[in-house]
Structure 1
Amino acid sequence: MEKESWILATVLGISSVAAVSVYLIMKIVWGRRYKLPPGPWAWPIVGNLSQLKGGNGFYYKVLEFRQAYGNIFRLKMGVHNVFFVFGHQYVQEILGKHGDLMTKRPNWMYIPDKILKRKGIFWSYGESWRAMQALLKSAQEDSAVISALQRHLAAEYDVFRSHAKDVACPYTLEYLIRQASFNFLAAFLLGQRYSYDDTSMVEMRERINDFGVSTSSANKANFLPFVAPCLRAQLQTAVRDQEVLFRKFREIMQARSNAARNDPPSDFLQVYLSKSEKERSADGMTEIDLLRTVVDMFLGGKDTLLSSAEWILMALVKYPDVQSKCRSEINEIFGPDQVIQTQDRSKTPYTLATIKEILRMHSPVPLTPFHCPEQDIKVGEYDIPKDSVVLIDCKASCQDGQFWLEPDVFKPERFLDSNTTKQIHGDCFTPYGTGPRDCIGKAMADIFLYTFTANVLKNFQVTTRNPEEQLSFEGVYTVFLFPKHFDQVVLKPLE
């Protein structure tokens, strides 16, 4: 034990000296070669990490630096210099003008390199990423997949409604939405939905949650890789969780491959399996790429859908007149026992506009995942060196006064008649990001959020436990932005 402690102390000491040396050398080299954005003084080794803790989360701490240093600034996060880009002009410059140079991910970080093996849809880039992205897009556009998904959604909403109407229901509203979003993803990815007490589903969901926490971008090992030995137990647990998930998905794949091959694919796994071995090999898609992609889609999708649905319900409480107008529109079109589906979106333009306006004001993903430029680029007056780590704001473009009339005013009508408001530019509406690496699941998110919102409005009054008190819209940031006081929201069944 003493020997191991001595070895660890020695490693930490050598790593600290090396980190300080590299930091000083890079500071001198970069200072001479580039015009870098401003930023605060940083401690050696840990940089500004200690200044990013606490409060309502990382995003809100970053906003404080933005206020001090402007729309482009940099922070030292452990061993990495991280560049932050805010404001519509600069966001479009880096993801529009330089978009093709920004598809790279820093997958040399400890977690994506050592644990995730640079596979999947989130941390990968290059040919295998392009192949998996194309496969996901084709699945989301496949009529047979969408048709099957609609059947799953109808069944899922029926269960959701029965629980939400039951005064003795043991589940919270947040749990019901979480379950609905998980089952929606399972239907699209795996071709099946699960009952609430299905032990296989419960284990899968818990493994995915635990794996996501252990391998998140914010893991200390990504920014201070020399502490990885201290996190060995956590990382080994993550590896075991991943192996269990892969085994479950392989079992489902085997069942899918034994199904009738003449039937059209009805889920993402079947779309993959419909390709021959030769086609997969030519596209650079391995089984591990697929399995990691399924995990990535669960990890990214479940919280995006949950957070978005929560913000939508919060906003419907805040704007009761808008809620009533949406419900009136819905009731004019649909009968009392009819389940609203995604193809009905064009029939309810005001409801659809309301959802867009809520996402504009309350984007669940304010910061994009990490990007890396493949070569030196210039954004505004500043240089961003090749292979730097870059975080880009999605939220500010949705509220930029140069492009949105009265951006702080809640106004669904802005999505209905651009002649009476300032022209809406598509590249300003960025709740799912923008550029070549925008959210690959945005089509699925639109389907879920519309059908969930429209069916809730049709059957429930969205209100709060204490209607006489104003609902706080304070947010909390993890990797996603959640409303802090969603537990005050309730659904009251309509007669």
Structure 2
Amino acid sequence: MENDTSSLGVLPRVLGISSVGVVCILLMLKLGNRRQYKLPPGPWAWPVVGNLPQLKGNPGFYYKVLDFREKYGDIFRLQMGVHNVIFVFGHRYVQELLCNKGELITKRPNWMYIPDKLLHGKGIVWSFGESWRTMQANLKSAQEDPIVVSALQRHLAAEYEMFQSHAKKCSSHTLEDLIRQVAFNFLSSFLMGKRYSYEDEDMVKIRDKLADFSRCMATANCVNFLPFLATLERAKIKEAEDDQDFVFSQFREILQEKSNTSRTGLLSDFFQIYLSKSENERSADGMTEIDLLRTTVDMFVAGTDNLMVSTKWILMALVKYPDVQSKCRSEIIEAVGRDQRVQSEDRQRTPYTLATIKEIQRMYSPVTLTPFHCPEQDITVGGYDIPKDSFIMIDCRAPCKNGQFWKNPDVFSPDRFLDLNGTQRLPETCFIPYGTGPRYCIGKYIADIFLYMFTANILQNFQITTRNPEEQLSFENVFNLFGLHPLHFDKVELKTFDE
């Protein structure tokens, strides 16, 4: 028995030693596999949190990343909590990734904590595969449909009338509030064929719930990078689920109202196009009701901020360059007059105004980095390996100021876009305010309509100035959840010509 007991005592020690040995072998194999990759350079990272502490603080995430670019070059990696993120800058590498290898990086990391808990692979932003391709094709088709575009222009013209009446009188709404409302109603018109009054209680609830949901859904949410913090964020995540359920219920009511009306009329919004298809067609297309609702939320969340912040930068730039503002206004009045609303088709008759908006987008686009891309297989860029399912963030801003393709890129000059005729074309990745490649921003078609019509109608009817015209307007900005936000837009004012 003594011999048996001693044998039993040795066994755990042997198993323990064996287990340690197995773990060591696995670690060695893992390290060996790592050495097979030539990964981009990057800074030393703290255990658990990685480089997250170095990415916090003003003026925001984007500028912190630029500091790393200056030190490590156009391709580098940062450890953001549990995720290894590879950043890609420079026209050459952006072109290589988004265009040449675009089909290999359409995947989104929807297994991250917040997207996994709230989105379940649905919608247009965080989905991938056939579901995403189908929804993207449907949205693109709707935005290019002449009946939808015509209805959208009518809605925006009516919306501008409301905006103008508020902007001319001493309204309780700030200029930023008014722009946000116009952007929200514009998207609502495209998606649901519905506009709201500025004081509509349902609209205010929907807009506020979407804003709260957007903050929770932001990629920068710490739980996405440090999932062990989820227990501390449980209440916020539950609140986001409730916000989403409320918005879904409101959208379902609108969908039901449309379903109860005749379907023989013209299909003038995204909901009507969805309802025009049979259940079998929707199932075959991967366009179920939940796909529709999630995509609608995505379009509101991403679109409202994009349109609002882009408009703010356009108005600020027109203040900074008063001669350009005057030239645009003269062109609009000569082509359209003062008594008729500017429409989307007037773009061809006002080329300088259109070129001015593009030049402002080139220099002041709020969008800096693409959402996360993930390669479906191991790929190489710039001589570095990017393993399958790595997280990639790609720069949208620097190519717009590349001196190789833009003469005097730091000089504001709308004329550079007037010089682009049929024989002179820029590379696809030189002007990418909406990204490029397969996963470009699908809302770019209606965004172009909005930015042109809204800006042109403001120019037609208002002088864009500041509270103190003698004081130079500061273009100081900060990186927020969406992109670069101007800090001093509150100084911008619209004045009628008789003031």
TM tier, smaller: over 0.9
SS in 2 for 1:265: coil
- Residue 4 of structure 1 is matched in structure 2 by none
1:414–1:421 CA contact under 8 A, matched in 2: no
SS of alignment partner, residue 435 of structure 1: coil
Which string of whole-angstrom CA distances, capped at 9 and with x for unpartnered residues, describes residues 283-319 of structure 1? 1222111100000000000000011000101110111
Q: 1:82 aligns with which of 73, 80, 85?
A: 85
Aligned pairs (5 A) from 1:267-416? 267-416=269-418
Secondary structure of 1:357's match? helix
Once the 2 structures are TM-superposed, how far is the Cα of residue 468 of structure 1 from its aligned partner? 1.2
Would you say the 8 A contact 1:46–1:78 is kept in 2? yes
SS at match of 2:429: helix
Q: Cα deviation per residue 1:135-184 (whole Å; 9 max; x = unaligned)?
A: 10111011111111111101100011111111x21111111101100010
Confirm or deny: 8 A CA contact 1:405 1:421 kept in the other structure.
Answer: no
- In structure 2, how many angstroms separate the alpha carbons of the residues matched to 1:387 and 1:245? 32
Q: Give the C-alpha shift of residue 363 in structure 1.
A: 1.2
For residue 427 of structure 1, what is the aligned residue in structure 2?
Answer: 429
Distance in 2 of aligned mates of 1:25 and 1:139:
54
* Mapped contact 1:404–1:424 kept (Cα < 8 A): no
Change (3 A) 1:322 1:290: same
**Is 1:94 the counterpart of 2:97 in the alignment?**
yes
Relative to 1, partners in 2 of residues 1:394 and 1:119: Cα closer, same or farther, differing over 3 Å? same
Aligned residue number for residue 239 of structure 1: 241
Q: Which residue of 1 aligns with 2:467?
A: 465
Corresponding position: 1:138 with 2:141: yes
User: Aligned partners of 2:495 and 2:428: how far apart in 1?
Assistant: 36
Deviation (angstroms), 1:421: 12
CA displacement 1:9-41 (0-9 Å, x = unmatched): xxxxxxxxxxxx9x9879835641111111110
8 Å CA contact 1:405, 1:422 repeated in 2: no
Aligned to 1:16: none
Partner of 2:227: 225
Per-residue CA distance 1:353-385 (angstroms, 9 max, x = gap) = 000000001112111011000011111111111
Structure 1 residues 133-212: aligned runs within 5 Å = 133-166=136-169, 168-212=170-214
Match of 1:127 among 111, 115, 130: 130
Aligned length: 473
- Determine if contact 2:428/2:436 at 8 Å carries over to the other structure: no
In 2, the alpha carbon distance for the partners of 1:25 and 1:448 equals: 56
Contact 2:369 2:397 in 1 (8 A): yes
Amino acid at match of 1:283: D
Shift of 1:335: 2.4
Deviation at 1:333, TM superposition (A): 1.3
Give the superposition deviation at 1:276: 1.1
Residues 247 and 398 (structure 1), Cα distance of their counterparts in 2 relative to 1, 3 Å cut: same
Deviations 1:76-105 (A, max 9, x none): 000000000011110010111110001000
- Secondary structure at the counterpart of residue 462 of structure 1: strand
The one of 57, 63, 66 equivalent to 1:63 is 66
Q: CA deviation at 1:424?
A: 3.1
**Distance in 2 (alpha carbons) for counterparts of 1:256 and 1:136:** 19
| Greater C-alpha radius of gyration | 2
Structure 1 equivalent of residue 477 of structure 2: 475
In structure 2, how many angstroms separate the alpha carbons of the residues matched to 1:218 and 1:289? 24
Read off the aligned partner of 1:253 and give its amino acid letter.
L
Q: Separation in 1 of the partners of 2:426 and 2:126? A: 32
| Cα distance between partner residues in 2 of 1:331 and 1:310 | 23
CA contact (8 A) 2:342 2:457 kept: yes
Give the letter for the 1:442 counterpart: K
Alpha-carbon distance, 1:427 to partner: 2.9
1:46 matches 2:49: yes
**Maintained 8 Å contact 1:403/1:422:** no
2:444 pairs with 1:442? yes
SS, match of residue 36 in structure 1: coil
Give the conservation status (yes or no) of the 8 Å contact 1:120–1:290. yes
Q: Which amino acid aligns with 1:65?
A: F
TM-score by length of 2: 0.92
Which residue identity is paired with 2:496?
P
Q: Which runs of 5+ in 1 are unaligned?
A: 1-20
Equivalent residue, structure 2, for 1:494:
497
Secondary structure in 1 aligned to 2:338?
Answer: coil
Change (3 A) 1:419 1:195: closer
1:117 aligned onto 2:120: yes
Alpha carbons of 1:232 and 1:376: their partners in 2 closer, same or farther (altered >3 Å)?
same
Name stretches of at least 5 consecutive residues in structure 2 with no aligned partner.
1-23
Hey, what's the Cα distance between the residues in 1 that align with 2:301 and 2:373? 18
Which residue pairs with 1:33 in the alignment? Answer: 36
**How far is the alpha carbon of 1:275 from its aligned partner?**
1.2
Amino acid in structure 1 at the alignment position of 2:35: R
Higher mean Cα deviation, 75-84 or 263-272?
263-272
Segment drifting more, 138-147 vs 202-211: 138-147
